[in-house]
Structure 1
């Protein structure tokens, strides 16, 4: 259950506990919390565990330059580290850093690896059951792995057909397509999840985790069928925050492991992962003539420039562009 926030003391005293509590009070995604806390912790350790309140722009500059010069991190990695410490100083400590002057990484942004349609289908053919269905949603609907495993029954609309992706990166809801070719399998999976939920209710359980304090706003919703996970875990487990025994969703690491094993079985010599399916969703739509704005909406990107990287991935010949020498 790597997406469940760790419990905090009722009255946080330690710096990192207070920082975590501050982040949660602003309802940032738990992944953002973990990322920010990891970078802030690394910043503090780099400066021999000095308290952040005793440091400022000079220490931030030296640390960010260290990441570029000694750690050789990518541009986006350094940006994430910068965002973490700036959030800590500006928002949490209320301390302005002014203009920062640090070394930028020499490593530019890399183009993502993508599967051709044939390669994606080959990887899927070496998978089976629930994990194959999750991977099919990553490729067929453009979901991140964490979005796929967190799908709730109310998020699936077979009448349109479409998916509502709510528990997302940055907590930005969106609507995306549901492939007709997997509707029957997904419907069977939903019926399985509902049957498992009915059995849990009979056994005195059946309550599911509710995000963003919705359990207080809608007291009975946690036991309703609508909020149950489409891909429930095999066993009940103890929620570390509340001590309640409940059924969570299947783990992201499970899916990643099965995707990696399927890739090895296909013999595809690319650096692929679960996220490669999402990249491939975008590039294959682009090849078929889907406009970039529509792809941006389906992926849930805030900035069109993030989506435009796929125009560099798709070969020019695949977009109908030919050399003047070949005319």
Structure 2
């Protein structure tokens, strides 16, 4: 029976737990409304679906609940029927807008009546799904981090360190009011001495505990202001221009274009992954890096030599996006504030990622199905293979192209302040590290050996 098939696919397709549980039930509700519960294939009709939605509305079901019905039917279309007919995207978009409006009205009513907070459904939509089985402290941490728009990776890392710390001082039943500077010092010291973690890892744990005490427990640990692990000062790995060209010869297609953009504009790896269709201006030869390190935007150069391939990539994204829309999907993750202001933008072409993933994925916060950008490991794997084939015996990572961009600009006579702006460094002292490879040597000194 097709309903059983949908339930099986819902469990195996990476849907959020609640969606995997409830979408088959909503699909069964639709099937009953059209008298096809036992049918091998349930026919999807716009008219029948809208009629069901109207009955649910009249019975008091919220727009958010009705939206789940539409998402369930769209999932059935795509996963079981493998069809995109009829197109239900307009129905879904209308309900998304209604759901947002209902949430806003509910928050306004709660504020005026003195009620603290919204109902569970509203909380889930605002901060995403949080496992109610987790300790209350972890739930509070996740909620606060999501309200403040911390990255998913940061949340995952901080929660991991806080879990380790709490377990090290006695577990979740321990009263943390008795825990203070001595336990924090001991924990961080053990990381350095016993676990022998890198300074960057120790500092990440440090920041997680700082967040726990200051933001969640509302307590100051004054020594945390001064005690930080010192990161070793290392000279960046830089490729010569001929080495860059050699690596490029062993890359192709999308991976070659991605590498050329990283090197040609001095982008960090994640900045390249997050590029959207709208982020380049062909006429002015500019590439706009959004939400870079430090949550700053900047403008860098768009190499003329990549424009033809960039436009071809853009057309590929357009075809993929059109196909996604035809299948009832086509949305993309949006920055938080903008997502609330213009929810329909998630379906617009210009907001699609320039280097999209090959498969749909589920947003870990709200369970929405999007096409995200390609995973970081995709280019890392291609680059590793290209470096091996090139016979270059340097530790080359995607970030090496950024180091090489800065160094080659300085070698060609570019002003260091200009390079600083292109890289997005807050302090020129960070950019100064690239002067070590200028042809005249550090500080303009030549070895006396060369004078013999």
Q: Is the radius of gyration larger for structure 1 or structure 2?
A: 2
Alignment of 1:111-126 (within 5 A): 111-126=235-250
Q: Deviations over 1:11-67 (max 9, x none)?
A: 986322211211121123333333333333333344453655432111121222223
Find the counterpart in structure 2 of residue 28 from structure 1.
Answer: 150
SS for the counterpart of 1:169 is coil
Name whichever of 147-156 and 43-52 sits farther off.
43-52
Q: How far apart are 1:178 and its partner, in Å?
A: 1.0
**Moved >4 Å (runs of 4+):** 9-13, 50-53, 100-107, 324-327
Name whichever of 39-48 and 211-220 sits farther off.
39-48
2 CA distance for matches of 1:159 and 1:12? 52
SS for the counterpart of 1:163 is strand
1 CA distance for matches of 2:164 and 2:251? 38
SS for the counterpart of 2:444 is coil
1 CA distance for matches of 2:263 and 2:253? 16
2:163 counterpart of 1:41 = yes
**Kindly tell me: are residues 105 and 154 of structure 1, through their superposed partners in 2, closer, same or farther at Cα, counting changes over 3 Å?**
closer
SS for the counterpart of 2:139 is helix
Find the counterpart in structure 2 of residue 65 from structure 1.
Answer: 189
SS for the counterpart of 1:232 is coil
Between the two structures, name the one with larger relative contact order (CA 8 Å, sep ≥ 6).
1
**Kindly tell me: are residues 70 and 289 of structure 1, through their superposed partners in 2, closer, same or farther at Cα, counting changes over 3 Å?**
farther
1 CA distance for matches of 2:277 and 2:230? 45
Alignment of 1:227-242 (within 5 A): 227-242=351-366
Q: How far apart are 1:10 and its partner, in Å?
A: 8.0
Find the counterpart in structure 1 of residue 440 from structure 2.
Answer: 317
User: Which segments of 5 or more consecutive residues in structure 1 lack a partner in the other structure?
Assistant: none
What TM-score do you get using the length of structure 2 for normalisation? 0.64
What TM-score do you get using the length of structure 1 for normalisation? 0.87
2 CA distance for matches of 1:292 and 1:48? 52
Q: How far apart are 1:191 and its partner, in Å?
A: 1.4
Name whichever of 248-257 and 287-296 sits farther off.
287-296
SS for the counterpart of 2:294 is helix
**Kindly tell me: are residues 96 and 106 of structure 1, through their superposed partners in 2, closer, same or farther at Cα, counting changes over 3 Å?**
closer
Counterpart among 130, 143, 152 of residue 8 in structure 1? 130
Given that residues 210 and 224 in structure 2 are in contact (C-alpha distance below 8 angstroms), is that contact kept between their aligned partners in structure 1?
Answer: no
Find the counterpart in structure 1 of residue 416 from structure 2.
Answer: 292
SS for the counterpart of 1:268 is coil
Name whichever of 17-26 and 292-301 sits farther off.
292-301
2 CA distance for matches of 1:190 and 1:197? 10
Find the counterpart in structure 2 of residue 207 from structure 1.
Answer: 331
Counterpart among 265, 272, 294 of residue 141 in structure 1? 265
Alignment of 1:266-277 (within 5 A): 266-277=390-401
**Kindly tell me: are residues 202 and 185 of structure 1, through their superposed partners in 2, closer, same or farther at Cα, counting changes over 3 Å?**
same
User: Which segments of 5 or more consecutive residues in structure 2 lack a partner in the other structure?
Assistant: 1-126
2 CA distance for matches of 1:285 and 1:124? 19
Given that residues 61 and 100 in structure 1 are in contact (C-alpha distance below 8 angstroms), is that contact kept between their aligned partners in structure 2?
Answer: no
Q: How far apart are 1:140 and its partner, in Å?
A: 1.2
Given that residues 266 and 402 in structure 2 are in contact (C-alpha distance below 8 angstroms), is that contact kept between their aligned partners in structure 1?
Answer: yes
**Kindly tell me: are residues 38 and 221 of structure 1, through their superposed partners in 2, closer, same or farther at Cα, counting changes over 3 Å?**
same
